[in-house]
Structure 1
């Protein structure tokens, strides 16, 4: 399948990232690939924040995966730093080939390098396949999450 590179995303990657975010039933309801302005503004905020890493997986010059890793210092757990993995997406052509595992392992390693003591992620309760995937990688469903739309 060609060599894979995991690297920091650049503004030129935003259209491919947004396309992947929108390429499932949940994303199709909440993403707007036809209007990239809010995504580009968000990208600039992410790029300016040293505690945020938006990465892409690139194979043969094509963006085929992405995730965001947020590093969060905190007081709980004896002053532990934790990371949160968000927005994990794999291009439809690449699903089932191990790329998701490579991206998550990259995020775990990056978290260790940042001194994190805990890696967290959330997954929509309807994504049963994703839940099995994360459990295979050693994640445990330990909390109930809540959201408030503003």
Structure 2
């Protein structure tokens, strides 16, 4: 098991992996996805963290480091799109990816790391708690796309 930052060459496999997050969700064309990957990579400290198992991308999350004028100018981080391939679940991959992303955020000087989940499943909430996240804020959204439905 290898946890590392994604490279541009990983984009096609990531697009396939995201179908395990939102089955049937529209994927961008490869050229557009690679451009988006470059945009994300341009933000200092931001990345897609992934876990590779025997050459297969088994899970990932997106880490975005946001510059900030409060907290002494220390940035904060957001984690989004946490996903593990169906065939690799319950092996500790999600935890490894989150730990990797959180450590990267701390190395970037972030004073906090936030994530939100649309899941209502108690086991999902327990997973995030076991990874050190606490439900300490209330989230609000305005959406242009419908929220993902749990399978």
TM-score band (shorter)? 0.7 to 0.9
List aligned pairs for 1:105-120, cutoff 5 A: 105-120=99-114
From the superposition, tell whether residues 73 and 130 of structure 1 become closer, same or farther in structure 2 (CA, over 3 Å): same
- Which range moved further: 14-23 or 92-101? 14-23
Q: Where does structure 2 lack aligned partners over 5 or more consecutive residues?
A: 145-151
Conservation of the 8 A alpha-carbon contact between 1:81 and 1:117: yes
From the superposition, tell whether residues 47 and 79 of structure 1 become closer, same or farther in structure 2 (CA, over 3 Å): closer
> Which of the pair is proportionally richer in strand?
1
Conservation of the 8 A alpha-carbon contact between 2:45 and 2:105: no
Q: Where does structure 1 lack aligned partners over 5 or more consecutive residues?
A: none
From the superposition, tell whether residues 39 and 129 of structure 1 become closer, same or farther in structure 2 (CA, over 3 Å): farther
Tell me how large the CA RMSD over aligned residues is. 2.1
User: Per the alignment, in what secondary structure is the counterpart of residue 63 of structure 2?
Assistant: strand
Pair 1:28 & 2:23 matched: yes
TM norm structure 1: 0.82
The residue that corresponds to 2:149 in the other structure is none
The residue that corresponds to 1:83 in the other structure is 77
Counterpart of 1:70 (choices 59, 64, 67) is 64
TM norm structure 2: 0.82
**Which structure has more RCO (C-alpha within 8 Å, separation ≥ 6)?**
2
The residue that corresponds to 1:147 in the other structure is 141
CA distance in 2 between counterparts of 1:62 and 1:139 reads: 27
The residue that corresponds to 1:19 in the other structure is 16
Number of residue equivalences: 144
Conservation of the 8 A alpha-carbon contact between 2:17 and 2:85: yes
The residue that corresponds to 2:88 in the other structure is 94
